[in-house]
Amino acid sequence: MNKLTTDRRAQILNCLVEGNSIRATARLTGAAINTVVKMLCDAGKAFSAYQDEVMVNLSCKRIQCDEIWAFVGCKEKNATEEHKEKGWGDVWTWAAIDADTKLIPCWYIGTRDGGAAYHFIHDLAKRLAHRVQLTTDGHKAYLGAVEDAFGADIDYAMLVKIYGAAPEGGEVRYSPAQCMGARKAVQNGKPEFKHISTSFIERQNLTMRMGIRRFTRLTNGFSKKVENHEHSVALHFMHYNFCRIHKSLRVTPAMEAGIADHVFELSELIEILDRYSN
């Protein structure tokens, strides 16, 4: 890895953040597969540590949270006990987004139970500088986690979607039930009714599916190790927050949030990687 130039390493990162698989990245860059994997692991650890350090005292006003499903190794229904000991099965990525700056202040990868919600929401709470308006979906695990992390110091509402009957027929195997509408349920404080929405975080879910090969449905590009899954997500959010100009903002989310003063180049990511790897 030390023999690779900065430009070559930046090329590998660029392929990964543009949604290419490990093998496709190896073919495009001419690097060995093991080199690409090591690069991903080192980058994931470094960028996770960097974002954990800088995402503090954030002046966010409106936060939206959601969870996105993926799997490691195989789907939960096909995982044996031996598989589960290796971390295989369903995995959920919890993420928060600032509705104004589009910044992703934190995320968490794990199950979809109360313990995961507790860890995720407490991590979010410690990064905020003041009271915010929070919107989540109707997942009940949020209720106890938000109350425990914020107490009464939050304006919190749920957007509960109402679904119709499941589709019928053999051609609708992957089609979701039709959404008939949504109900806004205030849980704490006085959230502004017009801002009770999860549209931005749901759009971010699509960005993740398009930008991270491991989240693409119905392919063989899924993660084989949960650690590599975590590294891919950390790399994605580093690029999204600091390198990628948001179309509606015309700057990066990190610049809009005031935690960066310029668009990060991929060469700068390599410098951060080296700094946090030493």
Measured CA distances, 54 to 40, 62, 106, 275 (Å):
21, 19, 11, 15
Q: Where are the domains of the chain?
A: 6-277
pLDDT confidence bin for 123, thresholds 50/70/90 = very high
pLDDT confidence bin for 176, thresholds 50/70/90 = low
Give pTM, 2 decimals. 0.92
Percentage of residues of the chain with pLDDT beyond 90: 85
Residue 12 CB-half CA count within 13 A? 26
Residue 69, classed as helix, strand or coil, is: strand
Which residue is it, tokens 């679904």?
163
pLDDT-wise least confident of 23-32, 159-168, 185-194 = 159-168
25 pLDDT above the threshold of 70: yes
225 pLDDT above the threshold of 60: yes
Pair of tokens at residue 88: 């295989």
Domain 6-277 - what CATH class? Answer: alpha beta
Centre a 10 Å sphere on the Cβ of residue 117 and count the other Cβ atoms it contains: 27
200 pLDDT above the threshold of 50: yes
Question: In angstroms, rounded to a whole number, what is the distance separating the alpha carbons of residues 138 and 228?
Answer: 30
Ordered strands of the 179-188 beta sheet: 107-110, 89-98, 62-72, 133-137, 155-163, 179-188
Which class for 57: exposed (0-12), middle (13-18), buried (19 or more C-beta within 10 A)?
A: exposed
Residue 173, classed as helix, strand or coil, is: coil
Question: In terms of Cα–Cα distance, which of 253, 272, 278 is closest to 43?
Answer: 272
Q: What angle (nearest 5°) sits at the alpha carbon of residue 266, between those of residues 263 and 271?
A: 100
Which class for 270: exposed (0-12), middle (13-18), buried (19 or more C-beta within 10 A)?
A: buried
* Cα–chain center distance at 30: 29
Helical residues (DSSP H) of 107-198, grouped into ranges: 114-125, 141-150
- Amino acid 220: pLDDT: 85
Pair of tokens at residue 159: 């957007």
- Amino acid 175: pLDDT: 62
177 pLDDT above the threshold of 80: no
pLDDT confidence bin for 180, thresholds 50/70/90 = confident
105 in Cβ contact with 60 (< 8 Å)? yes
- Amino acid 166: pLDDT: 64
Q: Mean pLDDT over residues 31-35, rounded? A: 96
